[in-house]
Structure 1
Amino acid sequence: MKKTLLSLVVGAGISYGAQAQALSLSENFDLIGSVGALSEYSMRGVSYTQRKPAVQATATLAHSSGLYAGVWSSNVDINGIDARYEADYFAGYTHPFTDQVGIDVGYIKYTFPKGSILNATETYAVLTAYGFKLGSYYSDDYYGDQTYLYNYIGYGVKDLPYGIGLDVRYGVADYKDPSFFSSNGNAKNSYREWEAKVSKNWLTLDWSASYVDTNLSETECLGFQGDKESCSARIVLGVSKSF
């Protein structure tokens, strides 16, 4: 079963093996994995390493039926929380209706050893059509009991000149309770984020550069993430090896 997973961009910012060539284990099972280094770990526009480097790895077991399950991990550095790494476990189902249209649905469990306040679960659905992606992620246990909804729209193309790929995304993260407080005392329960990424496979490695930003102010970011610059405009560089 030589195939690639349909989308598997289940964290909209974390790629759990997307578009990696599968290693065939049997007629029905493939193993998809990668290991990489980035200038920071950015999740939905927010840095989870206070803009410091991150090492990440993932492995996904995929069945010919479209079912899959896997694990993803990264170091983290979040001010005020003792967590040093994140380990995510996920399972889902991907189905192509045509060569250009398909759907990916599933479940993610985020865990932060020594930082259990960040532990959460999400269910998600991603529709892919002619390069466009429309994704939705829902949780009812963010920070213990807060509901959370993240929606995004994106577009990707892989065959630009010189083998360059381009992916763009615009998303909105919406919390049940006000979570972002400005210097004048105003509060809001949502923020917007966006990313534009160029990528290229060179010397058997996958290289990328992303422009990442949000509409959160430094004060709002400081109160939310413990670092005033972790939500600001920045460039994120990465290199990974798929297997």
Structure 2
Amino acid sequence: MKRHLSLALAAALLAPAVQAIELTRDLGLELNAGIYSDYRTRGISQTQNDPALQGSATLLHGSGLYAGVWGSNVDFGHGSSTRQEQDYYAGYYWQIDDDIALDLSYIEYVYPRQSEFNYGEYQVELSAYGAFLGGKYSNDMAGDQSYLYSYLGYRATLPWELGLELRYGQADYKDPVFLSASGDDRDSYQEWESKLSRSLLGLDWSLSYVDTDLSEAECAGYYGFEDVCSATVVAGVSKTF
């Protein structure tokens, strides 16, 4: 899932007038819709490198509590009957001071017509002075497979109001699930992303470079396609209400 509590959204938690639709003095609703040239999560395409239409609705409370739903089209191929991902999430955002914040959440991933793909995930992210460090853990992915995704990165505003986000992450599985062409196996892989963004003409534009260290053989062996883990550029445009 691409959703994460951005600094702009975090500000909306405590100042609903930023972007969220004000429902009451303490409660706001943020709506977002966007189209992207690919749906990549943790470096892996969920649409076989095809475009994705995505949207979300998030209730934001002035206390820092939030809850919402996020959705996207997906395509896992190989006769998969699901064509949609629906994520339900709830969490607490603690603004410790102007520069330091902590985000705690739980996310339930649902794939209609293919419930064996469903799983839940706990997330924590600490951000300070533009840097961020986080982790996501699931103990019910693909049956009894546990999974830990840890990441770190940096967000900054460049000249001309350009947003910059750099992220490096590592996904660790309980069992060795990636098999190389030489027969070696491993239980983890690394991924990274560099993203530029800018608001223009009332829309939010983004351009990302995404890559992983998985070989074509490792990618094909686990995900079924050799090109869904390779380097790509993802362009996107979205609108927040």
TM-score by length of 1: 0.92
* Whole-angstrom distance in 2 between the partners of 1:145 and 1:67: 30
Equivalent position to 1:61, from 59, 63, 78: 59
Contact 1:156 1:166 in 2 (8 A): yes
Corresponding residue for residue 206 of structure 1? 204
* Deviation of 1:118 (Å): 1.7
Corresponding residue for residue 186 of structure 1? 184
* Secondary structure, aligned partner of 2:138: strand
Contact 1:16 1:59 in 2 (8 A): no
* Whole-angstrom distance in 1 between the partners of 2:213 and 2:203: 33
Write out aligned runs for 1:114-193 (5 A).
Answer: 114-158=113-157, 160-193=158-191
Equivalent position to 1:72, from 59, 70, 73: 70
The count of residues paired between Structure 1 and Structure 2 equals: 231
The letter for the 2-side match of 1:67 is L
* Deviation of 1:17 (Å): 6.8
* Deviation of 1:116 (Å): 2.0
The letter for the 2-side match of 1:56 is Q
* Secondary structure, aligned partner of 2:217: helix
Q: Which runs of 4+ in 1 moved over 6 A?
A: none
Contact 1:16 1:72 in 2 (8 A): no
Corresponding residue for residue 4 of structure 1? none
* Secondary structure, aligned partner of 2:8: coil
* Deviation of 1:144 (Å): 1.5
Residues 164-217 of structure 1 deviation map (CA, whole Å, 9 limit, x = unaligned): 110000000000011111111111110000000000000000000000000000
Q: Unmatched 5+ residue regions in structure 1?
A: 1-10
Residues 67-109 of structure 1 deviation map (CA, whole Å, 9 limit, x = unaligned): 1100000000112222100000000000111000010001000
The letter for the 1-side match of 2:3 is I
1:38 aligns to 2:36 (yes or no): yes
* Deviation of 1:154 (Å): 1.0
* Whole-angstrom distance in 1 between the partners of 2:121 and 2:8: 22
Corresponding residue for residue 5 of structure 1? none
* Whole-angstrom distance in 1 between the partners of 2:97 and 2:49: 40
* Whole-angstrom distance in 1 between the partners of 2:220 and 2:7: 32
* Whole-angstrom distance in 1 between the partners of 2:47 and 2:233: 14
Alignment RMSD (CA, Å): 1.2
* Deviation of 1:16 (Å): 6.0
Corresponding residue for residue 111 of structure 1? 110
The letter for the 1-side match of 2:42 is R
* Secondary structure, aligned partner of 1:222: helix
Structure 1 66/16 Cα, relative in aligned 2: closer, same or farther at 3 Å?
Answer: closer
The letter for the 1-side match of 2:233 is I
Q: Unmatched 5+ residue regions in structure 2?
A: 10-18
Corresponding residue for residue 47 of structure 2? 49
Contact 1:103 1:125 in 2 (8 A): yes
